[in-house]
Structure 1
Amino acid sequence: MWILFLLLLPNSIDSLKMVKIFGKVDQSTYSTPYEDSLTCFDECYSVSRCYLAYLDSSGECFHYSLSNQSITVSEVDERSYVAFKTDVDSCPASFDDLVITYKSQYASTVAWNRVENGWNFKGCLETWRRFQREDNLVICMRTFSTFESTKQEAIDSCISYKETIGFTTFLTGVASVEEAEWIKQYWTRIVGDPGCSDLDPTGEEYLGVWINGVRNCPDESSCAIFKWEDGYTNTDEALSPSNANLKSMPNGDTETSEGCLTIADMPDHPSKYINDVPCGFASCNRGYVCAYISE
């Protein structure tokens, strides 16, 4: 049986607490040894990037920082302890009701999943950005810079990364404004602003990167309705008019129809992130966004 404590540490910030249990870390990528076992948990609490502290049965302390690693914690009867950083307000009525979620100052959400005999945190490979969606699906996302111009080339490029990382990767859909904002900030920081004048002298194209999505009008009429085709993006929150610059057009894949989507830098729509473009060619596209599901 697990024993649960709620650590009300000094100088507590808002609802931030640490939950301490009898347990051990079974699986992780790396940790940081901490010399003073007496302040093992207090020190983790005070360090913003630390989200888990482990004091093993021999008295050695280890800290686990916010990172892309996956980690598993299991129940034990021996005198070893694990303390999770969490945003809970108070102890739940029972251990089974405990929800361990922590949102750091870096806007990274650490949400633990209850598994048989323990807890699990699903991480991502290094350089891949972790997003935990409302359906608890964990997506690992990465933006790639390139001058490939068609959506099909972007799809093929994402698929090819399976040989490198060992996970099935897709040209990804976007489930939230948070994801769209991160994609734009990330690729504009990497690519900079090379401009489009060399490829689009008219100045009518927006600098952008490919994402999943295709126009999905229910009949032959025009519409601004799109659907995701990656198999795991199931919400259209990111396609709302406040976030997406979508024109009303019929379905089609021609040079003039704009049946596919990019995350774009639109100076005349600065608060929006998603733009519709022709699937076969977008002169100012500078990359694509791939993702895989973290199991």
Structure 2
Amino acid sequence: MCFPIFYLLLVLVSRSKSEYEATMIEFYGRLESQLPSTSGSLIAKDACVTKCLDDKECVLAYMDTAGYCMSYNFSSFNESTSLVEVPKSDGFMVAVKTNEMVCPIESYLDIKMAYVDRRNDVNYPFEWIKNANGWTIKSTCPAPGMIFKRSETITICVKRYYFKGTNNDARKYCEDQGLKMVGVANQAELDALTCGIPKELHIDGTTTCPTACSVGNKDF
């Protein structure tokens, strides 16, 4: 009688290769509805994994046996995306970055994978959500949104919208979409919103300028 044999590859890539605390977990899996060969680059598997490990914002490397590699930042997942287990014969492998891994007691599919959104040094925590076939992920602040930490308890996600009208019109435009027009708390936020180039912005708040405010007339 023949019995099926399943091979599990669960590789932890050394943290010493990274500039910050992180581990890559490799296993046979794929992202639903996406293939590395469609928009990936030809990169050797080990180089693909190491590239993601050393990239501050990368959280996932996705590879196939043909040598194609794709890297994903947390901000890339603007919609709920599923990561599913596949057999080795399918030819797909993923490497997930984590700084908090809890080894499963029973099935390896119960493994916990968590990391942080490192954009602008916010280090906002997130976790891959377990489901019946694997895991799902969705960014709390997908690109082109920008995440900022204002205090230990307040983290905001800011996105630019191109709009012509008054400040009140802009405020209503945001509210109609369930959003809130935000102010600028510091120079880093201002630089991100303006790309470092002085320009007019509709923002929340008021000014005490006696006349028209100049670009340099700001106080954080």
Match of 1:4 in 2: 10
8 A contact 1:102–1:111 mirrored in 2: yes
SS in 2 for 1:43: helix
1:1-295 alignment, distance < 5 Å = 4-8=10-14, 10-27=16-33, 32-56=40-64, 58-66=65-73, 68-70=75-77, 71-79=81-89, 80-88=92-100, 92-94=103-105, 95=108, 96=110, 98-104=112-118, 106-107=120-121, 109=124, 111-116=126-131, 117-123=133-139, 126-129=143-146, 141-144=158-161, 148-150=166-168, 153-158=169-174, 168-171=177-180, 180-181=185-186, 183-187=189-193, 189=196, 191-192=198-199, 202=210, 267=219, 270=220
8 A contact 2:49–2:95 mirrored in 1: yes
8 A contact 2:83–2:136 mirrored in 1: yes
* 1:184 CA displacement: 4.0
8 A contact 1:23–1:76 mirrored in 2: yes
Code of the aligned partner of 1:37: K
State how far apart, in whole Å, the 1-side matches of 2:136 and 2:54 are: 23
Say if 1:141 and 1:187 are closer, same or farther in 2 by CA, change over 3 A.
closer
- CA-atom RMSD in angstroms: 4.4
* 1:193 CA displacement: 7.6
* 1:110 CA displacement: 7.2
* Greater share of strand: 1
Q: Deviations over 1:103-156 (max 9, x none)?
A: 436536573431412222324665333579xxxxx9863134666132xx2343
TM-score (norm 1): 0.47
* Greater share of helix: 2
* 1:101 CA displacement: 0.7
Say if 1:44 and 1:113 are closer, same or farther in 2 by CA, change over 3 A.
closer
Structure showing greater Rg: 1
Gaps of 5+ in 2: 1-5, 150-154, 202-206
Quick one: higher RCO (CA 8 Å, sep 6+), 1 or 2?
1
State how far apart, in whole Å, the 2-side matches of 1:93 and 1:173 are: 42
* 1:26 CA displacement: 1.2
SS in 2 for 1:100: strand
Code of the aligned partner of 2:167: S
8 A contact 1:17–1:86 mirrored in 2: yes
State how far apart, in whole Å, the 2-side matches of 1:99 and 1:45 are: 15
Say if 1:99 and 1:27 are closer, same or farther in 2 by CA, change over 3 A.
same
Say if 1:9 and 1:187 are closer, same or farther in 2 by CA, change over 3 A.
closer
State how far apart, in whole Å, the 1-side matches of 2:114 and 2:214 are: 40
Identity %: 18
Code of the aligned partner of 2:82: T
SS in 2 for 1:171: coil
Q: Deviations over 1:1-52 (max 9, x none)?
A: 9753322255343421111122111146985323323533233323444321
Say if 1:87 and 1:187 are closer, same or farther in 2 by CA, change over 3 A.
same
